[in-house]
Amino acid sequence: MNTNFTKVSSLKFSRIATLLAVGIAVSIGVPALAGVLWVNYEKKKTNNYIPTNAVLGGSQNGKKLYVCQAIHDKEYTPGKLTEAHNCFIPWGNKEHRYTKYRVLTGNNWRWRNTGGELPSSGDRVWGGNEDNGGNTLYVCRAKYKGEYIPGKYYHPTKTCYVSFGGLEYRFTKKNFEFLIAN
């Protein structure tokens, strides 16, 4: 078996998939910062594929979690993407599951604890909106049961919300991190 062919084919597929994803995202006007980009996905169409440059948000029960975004109550909300291709959104004291979602991709980002202060507008990563577009949501993560879980930051309450086990949990002040685009 020619293993070089397999490696080259995988590399070409990865590049084509990335270019296609960027083209789709740009064509539908997905808000993006330098270094990160939201890409549309649907569980039944993924073929068990999570982009190699999906933003890693943490882990749950030892399994990787990525940053996702789904439409909840007519607005985009960030949350956690599991390896089983389910996007979970924290909202209204509950965890909501979606199979049609966006995955945050990119290679130029980092997590930073800002002591609960909202990072400068050029750094923070847009996650969606709430209150009929009146409030912007940003991507955050908090440590719960010893593992980081990605979720949404809601500025009016200065709180990072994450979901776990069917419920929504709130973290304030120095107990969470923001996703920062470099």
pLDDT in tens, 23-73: 334 334 444 455 799 999 887 776 778 889 999 999 999 999 999 999 999
For the beta carbon of residue 16, count every other beta carbon within 10 angstroms: 10
pLDDT, tens only, 131-152? 988 899 999 999 999 999 999 9
Tokens, residue 158: 């200065």
**Would residue 116 count as lying in a domain?**
yes
Tokens, residue 29: 């006007």
**Would residue 24 count as lying in a domain?**
no
Domain limits for position 164? 30-181
- pLDDT value at position 24? 39
Pairing of strands 109-112, 100-105: unpaired
**Would residue 142 count as lying in a domain?**
yes
Find the DSSP H helices in the chain. Answer: 3-27
What is the pTM (predicted TM-score) of this model?
0.80
